[in-house]
Chains A and B, each alone.
Chain A
Amino acid sequence: MTNNNNTSSSIPEGSPTGAAGPWILVVDDEPSIRRLMEFLLRSQGWTVLSADGAAQAMEILAAESTPPSLIICDVLMPHVDGLELVRRMCARLKGLNVIFVSGHLTDVSWWPEDLKDHRFLPKPFENAQLISAVKESIGGGNAT
């Protein structure tokens, strides 16, 4: 279920799907949070592509020539959840950097064994928290 409007709004001009160099993929079904993350990361100079769900994220991944430097992925999404999406992406591309975000897992004390090396950021997070988590994940500095 591709939302063309969303895709085009989140992809900079100059390439068929957006990223020419290192880039970050944001996947969240909540438009306001997705846009906020995009805005925040772009303001730091990173190239950001975004998707509203698993299908669109996989399309973007297939269209890009380079893998993303980082994937920021919501956990609870309709149809395919974030855990399953990241598993599919990891099966396709090894060594992906992922930060999971969710506002519903505060009381939960489990995490899939195969995804335990990825970071988790509980929602709501502060801007500085997100930026610092991204910097730590992709080794600091701007990706562009």
Chain B
Amino acid sequence: MDINLILSAQTLSLAPNVRRSELKDGIIVLKNISARTYLRVTPDQWQILRKFEKPNMVPNMLGDAIRDRECLALGESYELILKALKANILLEPGVEPETIQAHDWQSKVRASVLERPLVILFVAGLVMALGFHPKLPSTVLDWTLGLVLLCASLSFGEFLAACMIRDAGGEVYRPRWNWFALPPHFTVDMHDTAMLRRKEQTMVALAVPAVLAASAGIAAWHEPGLAFFSLVGLVLSLRPIFGGRLAALIHVGSKRMPSDAEHDFIFPPNRHPKARVKLMMTAITNATSWARIGYGVLWTLALLYWVGRLTTTPPWTLLFWKQNGLLIAIAIGGSLALMGLSYFLWEMYHWSRGFARGRRNTMRLWKTRWFGAGSIPLDESSRVKMLTASPLFGTMPPPKRQEFARTMTVRRYSPWAAIPEASDEPTHVAIIVSGKISLRRKLPTGRTVQVQVLSEGDVVGLHDLADPKHPGYRLRSLTPVTLLMIERSAVQALIQNTVPQTTLVDAILKRPFLRRISLCRNWHLQAVHRFARLSSIADYKQDDPILSEGQTVEDFFVIFEGDAKVSRDGRGLATIYGGDFFGEIGLMQNSSPNASVTAHHRTRCLRIPRVELLRFVTHNYTVALEIERVSSERLGRPLFPLKVGDFRIQ
């Protein structure tokens, strides 16, 4: 399903048969029992998922979490929802995951009973395998018996593991003789180990290596030609990467293990090079990573030792290094360099693709404005399309749009030219086909200032109707401009009779303004339109308080015109200007503002009530992420999750 739909409109519910493990290394494992799917979450993430115990939508859940001050970082929340849905921990209505039946496994052994024997077998086997001299199989009988020994050891180890899982309360899935395994042996799906306690998990993970170590050790001592395959099996079962079970159990220090929502991201905004670098830095600063690397080094040394024992020139002799030292150094250095280069190229490819995608439209627009305006189709059907797409003309009846399209005239202006037809007392109304126009107003001091920049799709010549308190706009082109003009007398009566004033204000004043401010730059156009519809313009006189420190925040503000002073405890902190916004931190954290904002020069703000803003933000993840990003930058720390002392309770 479309991610947008899931995160904004889809009702989800917690699967009825979810089982929860106990807390291990700061992580809880959730299991959908019938679907045999698992999700590793933190206790905070589990609290978020519990909000779906009754069918709920993501926006409502986020609204509740913000109200209760338990919202996680938004990227993490969205990732969690998507992963939970993928793991069938959250379900869409009417969707039943496929049931996977557990096997009725009757044999049970308590892990505590096997603990000592398994450890002894493992250590003794390992010592014997290291101490005695295994040999490569030289006869067909050695090959055959060696493989049989390996099959038997693997099968017995898996059998013991299954018995321990069952006794610990876990389920055993798909016990079978696996002909496609190398070598074929008895296997069991041990996914349910994730639900067991730490000690039981260790014993289950140790079962196969312990049996293999014992068989390799005994074989190395008694019949060295049979030890080879068991030794290979043992080395592979102890592998530090590619799903090695023992290595995965290593945990050092107090840092918790990462949950499933904190790596291998599937939520597109999380799949960013910065996120990968952050993950890498987290891993580097984690003692567990270094302990696992240490384990990997030990494993490699053991592997080298065994390989050396099987050869005539072992690696601990000088001759070996004289013969192979250079080659080994080249191989290791070359592999590391190749890995680094591949990773760098991969990151560069993704970065440049994203960069090009972001700049493509801007470059195309720039080219059309300066060199390609003549190639834009301006026939009647194209004009109808433009009128239909216009937020103002689009509200008019189709026959009227057709009529306007017929009577429109094309006017072109060179850069930095005045546009008198739509200025001061406009005689024409125009749609900008191509180019940028500066909208300027004369201040009481006599100075003319730019109040807005208008571009493709915006309408000029109606600003006096949309903003009767502040008439007297002047227009000047900033680039080559192409306009489609209509006599104002033909439009004015129709607009006054059929278009509500709010629609006019939205289309003429708010939308063009919002489209260009940093807050809305990455929003979907529909989100900009909706924000314009939800907000209202408020005028403030000089020194009027807009937001007061310590008081309840009921609105979110964007400075539409003029500027405002920010102060804390009576001390001036900054001056903010058109396009700057404030009030969002208090709204998102459900707390009081920690600074006051006072009107300075003829300040006009777009104001959006708290409830509407939260509703708007929670229904649009791009908007929510943008507000979170900007607020975090302003705070100097992440906006979410909240910690004690991060906010002021109102």
Partner of A81, one of B2, B526, B615, B622: B2
C-beta contact mask, A24-49 vs B, less than 8 Å → 1, else 0?
00000100000000000000000000
Residue B326 at the A interface, CB < 8 A?
Answer: no
Extra contacts besides A84-B2, A110-B4, A110-B622 (15): CB < 8 Å: A75-B5, A75-B9, A76-B9, A78-B92, A78-B93, A78-B94, A79-B95, A81-B2, A104-B9, A104-B10, A107-B619, A109-B524, A109-B529, A110-B524, A111-B524
**CA A96 – CA B531 in complex, angstroms?**
32
In the assembled complex, 22 residue pairs joining A and B whose CB atoms fall closer than 8 Å, in A order, are A75-B9, A76-B9, A76-B10, A78-B92, A78-B95, A81-B1, A83-B5, A84-B1, A102-B9, A104-B57, A108-B4, A108-B9, A109-B524, A109-B526, A109-B530, A109-B531, A109-B616, A110-B4, A110-B527, A110-B622, A112-B2, A112-B4
Residue B59 at the A interface, CB < 8 A?
Answer: yes
Chain A residues lying within 8 Å of B623, measured Cβ to Cβ, are 109
Q: Is the CB of A109 within 8 A of B527?
A: yes
Q: Is the CB of B620 within 8 A of A110?
A: yes
Chain B residues lying within 8 Å of A110, measured Cβ to Cβ, are 4, 8, 524, 526-527, 620, 622
CB distance from A33 to the nearest CB of B (A): 15
Q: Is the CB of B8 within 8 A of A108?
A: yes
**CA A48 – CA B619 in complex, angstroms?**
34
Chain A residues lying within 8 Å of B527, measured Cβ to Cβ, are 109-110
CB distance from A3 to the nearest CB of B (A): 13
**CA A104 – CA B94 in complex, angstroms?**
16
- Chain B, range 579-607, C-beta contacts under 8 Å to A: none
Residue A121 at the B interface, CB < 8 A?
Answer: no
CB distance from A27 to the nearest CB of B (A): 15
What range describes how many residues of B lie at the interface?
20 to 34
C-beta contact mask, A85-119 vs B, less than 8 Å → 1, else 0?
00000000000000000101101111110000000
Q: Is the CB of A108 within 8 A of B94?
A: no
In the A-B complex, the 8 residue pairs with the smallest Cβ-Cβ separation, listed nearest first, are A78-B94, A109-B527, A109-B530, A104-B9, A109-B526, A107-B619, A110-B524, A108-B8
Residue of A nearest to B620 (CB): A109
**CA A102 – CA B10 in complex, angstroms?**
11
**CA A102 – CA B59 in complex, angstroms?**
17
Partner of B59, one of A83, A107, A111, A112: A107
Q: Which of A78, A80, A102 has the most CB of B within 10 A?
A: A78
**CA A112 – CA B467 in complex, angstroms?**
33
Chain B residues lying within 8 Å of A83, measured Cβ to Cβ, are 2, 5
Chain A residues lying within 8 Å of B524, measured Cβ to Cβ, are 109-111
**CA A79 – CA B95 in complex, angstroms?**
7
Chain A residues lying within 8 Å of B10, measured Cβ to Cβ, are 76, 104
Q: Is the CB of B616 within 8 A of A111?
A: no
Chain A residues lying within 8 Å of B620, measured Cβ to Cβ, are 108-110
**CA A83 – CA B524 in complex, angstroms?**
17
Q: Is the CB of A107 within 8 A of B526?
A: no
**CA A83 – CA B530 in complex, angstroms?**
21
